[in-house]
Amino acid sequence: MTSKDRITLYYSPQTRATGARILLEELGASYDLHVLNMKAGEQRQPAYLAINPLGKVPAIRRGEALVTEQVAIFIYLADLFPKAGLTPALDDPDRGPYLRWMTYYGSSFEPAVIDHFMKREPAPQTQSPYSDYETMLGALEAQLSKGPYLLGDRMTAADILWGVAFSWTMTFGVVPRKDVFVAYAERMTSRPAFQRITAADAEMAAQHAAACGE
Ligand SMILES: N[C@@H](CCC(=O)N[C@@H](CS)C(=O)NCC(=O)O)C(=O)O
């Protein structure tokens, strides 16, 4: 990879950017971190709003390509490093199911979990993007019950996204600790990349808090 192809990850610890960093590690990719101290509000400064007008991490830059949105970042990065074996090729029969479960995260899971967390009345089933919370979660439970990974025996980048997601949402109590979810989260979070980045995140988060006098 030439220097113009180098990847910069716009990052804050213990956020949705953590999964993207774990994926980069699992892919064996070289990358630079551009760290934002969210406690100091750096994500809302003009310099970062020029990267992502929503003021959200993760974002990545590679050459002229700027990518925001976790799911897009996951698909993009896993495709950039096909030799890591975490993405089914375009003509692979697993490609469709892989994209299905990747995008299910952003299109169905997150809206459902946020409504649930905020105790918001969901939209009527026919107008809600995720049907209803129980149905949305039930589909995931059925898929993961086949295990050990979302696509069966094959681990993909989607499992890194979902492993982190289950770990966080069960910690916050917004997703029930069903056996299948717990076993899956443990499978993914016991991996060295997850352990390494979680430890580095704890250190970075403490530094950010200290810098803000907390
Ligand atoms: N739709 C975005 C959401 C990302 C997001 O919510 N990031 C949070 C961190 S977990 C954030 O940057 N929050 C900072 C803020 O809004 O001030 C994605 O999927 O990447």
Res. 4: pLDDT tops 90: no
Per-residue pLDDT at 3 exceeds 90: no
pLDDT of res. 214 = 81
Q: Is 59 in the pocket of ligand 1 (CB under 6 A)?
A: no
| Ligand 1 centroid, distance to 58 Cα (angstroms) | 7
Rounded to the nearest 5 degrees, what angle is found at the Cα of 104, between the Cα atoms of 99 and 106? 110
- How many Å separate Cα 113 from the centre of its chain? 14
Report the range of poorest mean pLDDT among 22-36, 68-82, 116-130, 183-197. 116-130
Closest CA to ligand 1's atom 12: 56
Question: Which tokens belong to 115?
Answer: 């409504």
pLDDT higher than threshold 70 for residue 2: no
- Cβ of 167 closer than 6 Å to ligand 1, yes or no, is no
Q: How far apart, in whole angstroms, are the C-alpha atoms of residue 32 and residue 207?
A: 19
Q: How confident is the model at residue 53 (pLDDT cuts 50, 70, 90)?
A: very high
**Confidence band for 1, pLDDT divided at 50, 70 and 90:** low
CA 185, CA 168: separation in Å to the nearest integer? 9
Determine the residue type at 118.
Answer: M
pLDDT value, residue 9: 98
* Dist. CA 207–CA 214, nearest whole Å: 10
The whole-chain average pLDDT of the chain stands at 96
Percentage with pLDDT > 90 across the chain: 94
What pLDDT shows up at residue 5?
A: 85
